[in-house]
Amino acid sequence: MYIVIAAIIGFIAAIPIGPINVYAITQTMKRDFTHGFLAGLTSALLDVIFCFAAIAGTHHLTSRITELLPYIKLLGVIIILSIAFRLLHQARHFIPIRSSDQPKVMTAPRPIIGAMLLYLTNPSLYMFWLAVGGTISAHRLVSPREWSGLVFALMAGVGTTLWYLLLCRYVAKYHHQFSQSTFARILRFTALILILLALYTAVTLVI
């Protein structure tokens, strides 16, 4: 039963629009499915790590994250804004790349590093998995001393992976139907979302 619950939690947790979803979409649009899915897969792997860490030691993680929270948020604001302004620049000079023109060598580290930076500077993700870990442990559905804790975390990662697989496949399949002006508008819109997220994070630093 807890296996199904874990997969559902991982899938639902990945759905809300946020920096990583935006990043995966733009990587798919500007490059290809593989680049976008790599960003999502990186997020799924980090979900597994943080989910299991939360199950194994919720109290210790909470105290450490609370101490570092302002610095994490500040770094997150800087990274998110830098990506947003880069998207705005690309929107002004965007030329869609046809599949026949795609380079054969994939720049794999870029989506992986980008997703890692966005994930690690997003405190809400830590808090979410801490809440999940605390709830699961409190109801004794899993135990960190048994394989059930690791299996739960892995299945949460499977749920996240499934979401990004569906998202990136959809974007990769239909984005070629967009005109150049539509591409530019989408990039501006995603940049606006990131700027709003960065501003919200900045506000939480002073409130």
> What are the tens digits of pLDDT across the range 79-135?
888 878 887 887 776 555 554 444 444 556 788 998 998 888 887 787 788 788 777
For residue 12, the SS3 value is: helix
pLDDT score at 95: 56
Lowest mean pLDDT among 10-19, 59-68, 126-135, 136-145: 59-68
Q: pLDDT digits over 42-53, tens only? A: 999 999 998 888
The pLDDT mean for the chain works out to: 80
pLDDT score at 127: 78
What is the domain partition of the chain in residue ranges? 2-96+107-206
Other Cβ atoms within 10 Å of 24 Cβ, number: 29
For 130-152, give one letter per residue: b (16+ CB within 10 A) or e: bebbbebbeeebbebeeebbbeb
Per the model's pLDDT, the better-predicted residue between 142 and 203 turns out to be: 203
Please compute the mean of the pLDDT values over residues 26-30 and round it to a whole number. Answer: 86
Taking the complete model, does pTM exceed 0.85, yes or no?
Answer: no
Q: Which of 132, 166, 13 is nearest to 61 (CA)?
A: 132
- CA–CA separation, 18 and 150 (whole Å): 26
